[in-house]
Amino acid sequence: MNTLNAQNMENQALNAKQQSIVSIASLTSVGNLTELKTQLNVSLDAGLTINEIKEILVQMYAYCGFPRCLNGINTFMEVVSDRKSKGIIDVEGNVASPISDTKDKYETGKKTLQTLTGIEEIGPKTGANAITPIIDVFLKEHLFADIFSRDVLTYQQRELATISVLSALEGVAPQLQFHLAVGLNIGLTEKQLLEVFSIIQTQIGSQ
């Protein structure tokens, strides 16, 4: 990468769609459905498709649980219905393609995680994965194979949503630090990540 391109990346701010991802994820995670409804309207106006927003909300269950995820989806249904009643036709967008990969799901998830982190996983399991091996299986096979293999959102968009959730929640600093490193590895810039924090601070304040 030449110096000019590197400087352009460093100066790049979040675009309107990326800002919308931050808002949707963070507001869903803290259960602020009133403000979420407002931001969902803003997000559709900014160009996110219905299926992109659905995908963001579905991913939320992996990081803030099914109750908040389902509340977010129900709120989105209300928004879309209300907009239709006003004659606003939103773009549906692409539906997630069926996952046709026949490879072992654990190995698929492991490969995806290595792509995200830029670090090859070698040696014995450590930490939570060593104490409870099943959580390693769930993370690899479900989160990083099933969810991250869906093609409506890019890895960068999924990480932006994940970082936003973790930034809005209390008590998840280690996970946030991990995903901040992942975000930088897959092309998000420090300026963009600082903007994530600024958006969350403005919308929901300190948790």
How deeply is 14 buried, as exposed, middle or buried, from its count of CB atoms within 10 A (0-12, 13-18, 19+)? Answer: buried
Among 149, 164, 189, the domain-final residue is 149
pLDDT of 1 reads 40
Domain hosting residue 112, numbered range: 99-149
* Separation CA 152–CA 14 (nearest Å): 19
Q: Angle, to 10 degrees, between the axis of helix 155-168 and the axis of helix 105-117?
A: 80
Are both 41 and 142 inside the same structural domain? no
Are both 56 and 133 inside the same structural domain? no
Question: pLDDT tens digits for 44-66?
Answer: 999 999 999 999 999 999 999 99
Q: Are 102 and 132 in contact (CB under 8 A)?
A: no
Question: pLDDT tens digits for 134-165?
Answer: 999 999 999 999 999 899 999 999 999 999 99
Are both 89 and 107 inside the same structural domain? no
4 — pLDDT class (breaks 50, 70, 90): very low
Among 131, 149, 167, the domain-final residue is 149
Are both 62 and 138 inside the same structural domain? no
* Separation CA 111–CA 71 (nearest Å): 32
- Residue 126 phi/psi, 5-degree rounding, is -130, 165
